[in-house]
Chain A
Amino acid sequence: MTTKRETIVTAIRTALIGTTGVSTRIYRSRVGPISRAESPAIVVEPLSDTADQNTSLPTLDWSLTVRVAVIVRGEIPDQIADPIVESLHAKIMADLTLGGYAIDIQPIGVTFDIVEADQPAGVVMCDYRVQYRTSVTNLAS
């Protein structure tokens, strides 16, 4: 069995297929750096997942933070990333249940990291909170 957490992160990566400008360069938890030739690209990774037991039922309410990082190169990196961010946001928010696995998805915020490189580079990090529920004893259901 696969945990709902893993299913949700995989579903987000799948939902991002077709995002403007990145072709097939959508990576799941990629740890290697993105070269200039590989840009623009997207990296999807989980940041944290916290649980609360809010009901008397044997369930856990989870709050999963997922980061979608857009890596671009160009003279004005944040401007180059803008249509990609617009596109990925629309794709993630198109189905707030991610195929029935999530209760809700909420944008948390966007962080910009613009750095000097052989061509100016930018990493635009879009963070989302995904709420979902599991049973107390089984993270897959």
Chain B
Amino acid sequence: MAVTENLSGFLYDFGVSCTAGATTALGILDMPSQVVAGDMVLTTDYVLTALATDFGTLKYEDVITIAGTAYMVRETRFIDDGAFVEIGLQKT
């Protein structure tokens, strides 16, 4: 018997409200610090994990508002079976 999954459950506990265009849905925002450019630049690697059906079509320079803060999309990467995406962001 086929199992019908509800992928939204993955986002219920730690997801925050995200809006891009006409779409509002949950996503999980991570923001670890990282050092780049030959150890000379300290940056924050903003990454949003969300359902591909919600935000999978976002592309470079699209704007997404996450928990009230605006970010600009760097790239959208499908992960595993493509049901989820990781969206690299820069803070505007």
Contact = CB atoms under 8 A, between A and B. Distances in A.
A121 B43 contact: yes
B74 A123 contact: no
B46 interface: yes
B38 A117 contact: no
A97 B70 CA distance: 50
Contacts of B89: 118
Most buried by B among A115, A116, A118, A121: A118
Given A115-B36, A116-B74, A117-B36, A33 B90 contact: no
Interface string B55-82: 0000000000000000000100000000
Contact of A71 (B40, B74, B88, B91): B40
B91 A118 contact: yes
A36 interface: yes
Interface in B20-67: 35-46
Contacts of B90: 116-120
B37 A113 contact: yes
Task: Decide if the interface of chain B is mainly helix, strand, loop or mixed.
Answer: strand
B91 A33 contact: no
B38 A34 contact: no
28 contacts: A33-B41, A33-B42, A34-B40, A34-B41, A34-B42, A36-B42, A36-B44, A43-B40, A71-B40, A71-B41, A113-B37, A113-B38, A115-B41, A116-B36, A116-B74, A116-B88, A117-B36, A117-B41, A118-B44, A118-B89, A118-B91, A119-B43, A119-B91, A121-B36, A121-B37, A121-B43, A122-B37, A123-B41
Interface of B: 35-46, 74, 88-91
Interface of A: 31-36, 43, 69, 71, 73, 113, 115-123
Given A33-B39, A123-B40, 20 more contacts: A33-B42, A35-B43, A36-B43, A69-B40, A71-B37, A71-B41, A73-B41, A113-B37, A113-B38, A115-B36, A116-B88, A117-B36, A117-B43, A118-B45, A118-B89, A119-B90, A121-B41, A121-B43, A122-B37, A123-B37
